[in-house]
């Protein structure tokens, strides 16, 4: 049973804090609205009765005590939780005499304390009006399903462009959506470095993070405009409005930074006239957002202002022959200088589309891999930088600056690795294991079988292999399999599950995850990038 709560406080920051301090819906509470004073709260309560009013005592106009007196007449079953300061003790006593269920100090309030008091009040309400609350629960579920159905339909219009004009108009009428007046905008807001945000896990769950961000954005959105705010998943939120103001999105970025210590980037579509152009506008907003690759995090980019140069197939951004000469003599300073000049030339020159520019850096990694292979090594045997494989880093990092800084940090490690290759010799037993793996990688090889083959214990072979090659047996086997998988993916006649089996994986899902871990993209995406589709 969802308990309905109204927040009443004259300070907007307090209201925002109360809305985001705890996951209300996850704990059985539904925020029906908010008010800045007692008079506004009473107007809301006449149309939207609730179970709990969380109210400040001192407010301009109708204060908390006067509000409580009116609530007692209007809805005797409604409980009041008082927000007070240290010097409000007399007011608190009067509030308790008027029937307040409890009070809480603003300055020392903790989420757990607020949660405990709300849970106590929830239990009181259930005991007093179980049947009434059962009806309320049903109403909340209907409302929730209606909202989910509306959002699902809008997402389909944005992403897939489904529906005729008549169907779209019927949908808008069904869900109570008003007609939009030109110019109409679609805005895409994405949390920067979202995978890292999830990895740090400061929000306990992805759902709670999205819930909190949506609340913050909604608070700012209502201040400037109306329309629809949609949670698209994976750190992306989309806004549909016909009252666009740049100040609104700037304030949204500031609010996310202030309250969550996160950064967000925004892409804005061109203005459009027809609601049927939603899909095109959404595509424009996403393309504008992609330009943060060049401008960095916390970007605000308009689709109308981005322009990309056509790639010149006849020239590379670096001279392979010159680069390899520097690699031959292991000139670290010159190589780093070359990398710096390349990066600056990209920033200062005409911009290619982010996908094309990213592939230039992938090709550079491929050049480095080829050089290592000619010496008997490969990138997957080289030390990791920031716990990332080179292909994965270049394909997954969000901005050009991130890619450049990663490559600059990795290059000295790579040079140390190729210096070691010319001095590398392995024991005959380890060479036998290497040969078996290279020939039988598509078989279900076990370390125990390899150990028996060379007359070692499993543990001793594992230790010796790592010492001689710098990697574990299973890591080496995985690398060999992925090398073969990359070649097979270039042939469109093979399906992913077939390639999985051909390189020794019975489970194609596990194969895809392993490929993503090492390459930075899933097998199908790798094939698309290779084929240029």
Concatenated DSSP letters of 93-140: HHHHHTT--EEEETTT--HHHHHHHHHHHHHHHHHH-HHHHHHHHHHH
Kindly report which listed range (3-12, 253-262, 416-425, 507-516) carries the lowest average pLDDT score.
416-425
Q: Across residues 68-81, what is the average pLDDT?
A: 86
Asked whether 98 and 69 are in contact (CB, 8 A), the reply is: yes
- Return the half-sphere exposure (C-beta side, CA atoms, 13 A cut-off) of residue 374: 8
Q: How many domains does the chain have?
A: 4
Q: Please check whether residues 45 and 88 belong to one and the same domain.
A: yes
204 and 324 belong to one structural domain:
no
In a domain, residue 423? The reply is: no
What is the DSSP-derived secondary structure letter of residue 181?
P
Tell me the whole-structure pTM to 2 decimals: 0.59
Report strand pairing: 79-84 vs 300-302.
Answer: unpaired
In the predicted structure, residue 149 carries a pLDDT above the cut 80: no
Per-residue pLDDT, 259: 93
Q: Across all residues in the chain, what is the average pLDDT?
A: 87
User: Does a structural domain hold residue 311?
Assistant: no
The pLDDT assigned to 205 comes to: 86
pLDDT tens-digit series, residues 325-345 = 888 888 899 999 999 999 999
Q: How much is the pLDDT for 314?
A: 47
> What residue numbers bound the domain in which 393 lies?
320-371+385-414
Q: Quick one: CA torsion of 153, 158, 160, 165, rounded to 10 degrees?
A: 70
Q: Tokens at residue 168, please?
A: 């779209």
What is the arithmetic mean of pLDDT over 469-487?
87
Q: Are residues 183 and 262 in the same domain?
A: yes
Tell whether 288 is covered by a domain: yes
Band of residue 424 on the pLDDT scale cut at 50, 70, 90: low
**Same-domain check for residues 284 and 175:** yes
What 3-state DSSP class applies to 292? Answer: helix
pLDDT per position as a tens digit, 162-186: 667 787 777 777 777 777 888 999 9
- Note whether 438 and 475 are same-domain residues: yes
Task: Specify if 380 maps to a domain.
Answer: no
Same domain, 296 and 364: no
Query: What would the pLDDT profile of 4-31 be if each residue is shown by its tens digit?
Result: 999 999 889 889 999 999 999 999 999 9
CATH of the domain at 32: 3.40.50.2300
Would you state the pLDDT for residue 247? 95
């Amino acid at each position: 049973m969802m308990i309905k709560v109204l927040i009443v406080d004259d300070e907007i920051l307090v209201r925002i804090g109360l809305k985001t301090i705890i996951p209300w819906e996850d704990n059985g509470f539904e925020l029906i609205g908010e008010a800045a004073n007692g008079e506004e709260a009473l107007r809301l309560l006449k149309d939207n009765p609730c179970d709990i009013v969380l109210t400040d005592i001192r407010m301009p106009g109708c204060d908390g005590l006067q509000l409580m007196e009116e609530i007692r007449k209007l809805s005797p079953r409604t409980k009041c939780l008082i927000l007070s300061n240290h010097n409000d003790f007399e007011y608190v006593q009067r509030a308790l005499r008027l029937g307040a269920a409890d009070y809480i100090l603003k300055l020392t309030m903790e989420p757990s304390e607020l949660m405990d008091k709300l849970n106590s009040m929830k239990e009181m309400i259930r005991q007093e009006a179980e049947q009434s609350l059962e009806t309320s629960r049903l109403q909340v579920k209907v409302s929730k399903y209606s909202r989910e159905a509306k959002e699902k339909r809008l997402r389909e219009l944005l992403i897939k462009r489904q529906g005729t004009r008549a169907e779209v108009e019927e949908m808008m009428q069904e869900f109570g959506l008003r007609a939009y007046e030109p110019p109409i905008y679609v805005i895409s807001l994405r949390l920067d470095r979202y995978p890292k945000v999830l990895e740090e896990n400061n929000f306990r769950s992805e759902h709670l993070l999205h819930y909190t961000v949506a609340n913050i954005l909604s608070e700012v959105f209502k201040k400037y405009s109306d329309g629809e705010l949609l949670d698209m998943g994976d750190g992306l939120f989309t806004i549909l409005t016909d009252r666009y103001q740049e100040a609104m999105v700037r304030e949204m970025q500031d609010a996310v930074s202030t309250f969550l210590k996160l950064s967000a980037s925004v892409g804005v579509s061109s203005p459009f006239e027809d609601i049927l152009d939603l899909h095109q506008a959404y595509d424009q907003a996403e393309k504008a957002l992609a330009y943060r690759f060049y401008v960095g995090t916390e970007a605000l980019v308009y689709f109308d202002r981005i322009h990309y140069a056509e790639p010149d197939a006849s020239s590379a951004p670096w001279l392979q022959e010159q680069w390899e000469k520097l690699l031959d003599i292991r000139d670290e300073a010159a190589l780093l200088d070359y990398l710096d000049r390349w990066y600056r030339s990209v920033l200062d020159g005409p911009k290619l589309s982010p996908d094309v520019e990213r592939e230039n850096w992938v090709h550079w990694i491929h050049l480095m891999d080829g050089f290592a292979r000619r010496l008997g090594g490969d990138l997957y045997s080289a030390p990791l930088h920031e716990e990332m494989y080179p292909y994965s880093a270049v394909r997954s990092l969000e901005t050009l600056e991130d890619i450049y800084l990663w490559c600059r940090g990795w290059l000295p490690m790579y040079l140390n690795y190729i210096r070691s290759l010319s001095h590398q010799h392995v024991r005959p037993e380890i060479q036998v294991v290497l040969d078996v793996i290279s020939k039988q990688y598509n078989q279900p090889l076990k370390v125990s079988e390899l150990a028996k083959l060379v007359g070692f214990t499993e543990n001793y072979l594992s230790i010796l292999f790592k010492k001689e090659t710098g990697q574990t047996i299973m890591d080496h086997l995985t690398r060999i399999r992925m090398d073969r998988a990359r070649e097979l993916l270039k042939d469109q006649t093979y399906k992913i599950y077939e390639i999985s089996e051909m390189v020794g994986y019975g489970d194609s899902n596990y194969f895809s995850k392993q490929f993503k871990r090492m390459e930075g993209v899933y097998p199908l995406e790798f094939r698309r990038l290779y084929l240029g589709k």
